[in-house]
Structure 1
Amino acid sequence: MIMPKAFIFDLDGVITDTAELHYQAWKRLADSLGITIDREFNEELKGVGRMESLEKILALDPKQSDLSLERKEALATEKNDHYVDLLGTISEDDILPGITDLLKTIRQQGIKVGLGSASKNATHVLKELKLIDQFDYIVDAAQVSKGKPDPETFTNAADHFGVDYVECIGIEDAPSGVTAVNSADMFSVGVGTAEALPHAEYRVDNTTELDFDSIIQAYQSFGVSAKAE
């Protein structure tokens, strides 16, 4: 039986849902600039790095088109300060359903567990959730030169573990994240709707359906065997 050697998880939308906190932080910044954003627009920011998200928001107002890099970096820092303040409200109760049991099962099987997040606050979030000890390695935005959908976030983790990419499973909820997993030649598990994640090699509607045995069966049937051909 072929088993994967590493699971690499996204953070937001997979381990916990901090999307609302990101939205509140971005909205506070946008409001201060006289720019209006809503939750529908916020969907475009999921899985996207901080500076790229800022550029998307600034693009809504032509008057902000000539801001200096220094000013943009200051705005990105301001948003992050808002977000970190909001992070003080999260706890173990904010771990998404099914994740704690899945992590426990993976570790019992002796499989490495990594985190691949676009957030520079990933370690802080895991500490707040009291999950930091469940992860063998953490990749955040500070450790990669190219964010998702580039595969570097995931290949960085696999390289750290010293395992082949085809021996890894990546779990993502964002289209750009699934693209990154696929581009890394890993087996992609998507959490979300079929409409949003048609390119996921295995998909569930929500984290309660992330069953270890089902994921492994799909990996063995459609992952390793297909990539080995």
Structure 2
Amino acid sequence: MTQPKALLFGAIGTLVETSDMQRRAFNAAFAQLGLDWTWGREAYREMLRTPGGAARVAHYADARGEEVDADEVHRAKVAYFREFAREGLEPRAGVREVVESARSLGVRLGFATTTGSDTVDLLFDGLGDALPRDVFDFVGDADLVTKGKPSPEIYRLALSHFGLSAAQAIAIEDTPESAAAPIAAGIATVAFPGDAARGRSFPVEVTHNVDRLEPSFCGLGLAAA
């Protein structure tokens, strides 16, 4: 793996571990809106196979034969998640080291998520100085694409923004479904599963599957030079 010109973090879960916090926020939203739904830990692990919170709600409602306003539910969930995030968020193991290494080497940083812009905003609010938004040269969200992951659209947009080819970038993803997006765009991909996806099978194309990020996993082995 040669040193990339851009490193693309692909999801909230590649930066912080929030899966259980988000599950609790969904449950609070369901209660607020009078929905007789409760998502347990194991059930939510399976639901994460559907990328995107609103899409997850819509898929669950369809499976139950119920009609809901998935966007309304998701807005309520985001409000609860914001309350939880105000307590502060911490980057996952190795994230700050990889970010610092990339910046020291002149490697550009992108955040290629297709979650909603409101969720992206509260993520960086919760992270604060631990990982400021402005360390990223590109920040994507659902408003910038017509299709969410596993579509490669957000990655192609990031590459276009940087003026780079797929071979000049490396992506980091936290679930098998999301990892399919950069792989479809032809980008070398590192699997960095969080609690909800650990132990699941990722596409065979991933270059590494790790619990902690290190510069060398992201093609930044020259950092020590």
CA distance 1:60–1:89, shift in 2 (3 Å): farther
8 A contact 2:138–2:158 mirrored in 1: yes
Q: What per-residue deviation string (whole Å, max 9, x for no partner) do you get for residues 1-57 of structure 1? A: 943111100233211011112101112233430123211121234371122111123
> What is the TM-score with the length of structure 1 in the denominator?
0.82
In structure 2, the residue matched to 1:135 is: 136
Structure with the bigger RCO (C-alpha within 8 Å, sep 6+) is 2
* C-alpha distance in structure 1 between counterparts of 2:87 and 2:72, whole Å: 24
Deviation at 1:106, TM superposition (A): 0.6
Amino acid at match of 1:107: R
Match runs of 1:1-229 below 5 Å: 2-31=2-31, 32-46=34-48, 48-62=51-65, 64-65=66-67, 67=68, 71-91=69-89, 94-120=90-116, 121-129=119-127, 130=129, 131=131, 132-192=133-193, 193=198, 195-207=200-212, 210-216=213-219
Deviation at 1:100, TM superposition (A): 0.5
* C-alpha distance in structure 2 between counterparts of 1:61 and 1:5, whole Å: 46
Deviation at 1:182, TM superposition (A): 0.3
> What is the TM-score with the length of structure 2 in the denominator?
0.83
Q: What per-residue deviation string (whole Å, max 9, x for no partner) do you get for residues 85-143 of structure 1? A: 2221223xx11111101100011111110001232222331243122232111001121
Tell me which moved more, 9-18 or 99-108: 9-18
In structure 2, the residue matched to 1:221 is: none
* Gap regions ≥5 residues in structure 1: 219-229
Tell me which moved more, 192-201 or 139-148: 192-201
* C-alpha distance in structure 1 between counterparts of 2:47 and 2:11, whole Å: 14
SS class of match (2:115): coil
Tell me which moved more, 141-150 or 1-10: 1-10
* C-alpha distance in structure 2 between counterparts of 1:40 and 1:194, whole Å: 13
8 A contact 1:165–1:185 mirrored in 2: yes
* C-alpha distance in structure 2 between counterparts of 1:36 and 1:21, whole Å: 14
8 A contact 1:118–1:148 mirrored in 2: yes
Q: What per-residue deviation string (whole Å, max 9, x for no partner) do you get for residues 190-223 of structure 1? A: 113564214342123312xx222243289xxxxx
- Aligned CA RMSD, in angstroms, stands at 2.2
* Gap regions ≥5 residues in structure 2: none
SS class of match (2:160): helix
Amino acid at match of 2:109: V
SS class of match (1:122): helix
Percent identical among aligned pairs is 22
Amino acid at match of 2:15: I
The structure with the larger Rg is 1
CA distance 1:11–1:154, shift in 2 (3 Å): same
8 A contact 2:97–2:214 mirrored in 1: no
Amino acid at match of 1:81: A
CA distance 1:88–1:43, shift in 2 (3 Å): same
SS class of match (1:146): coil
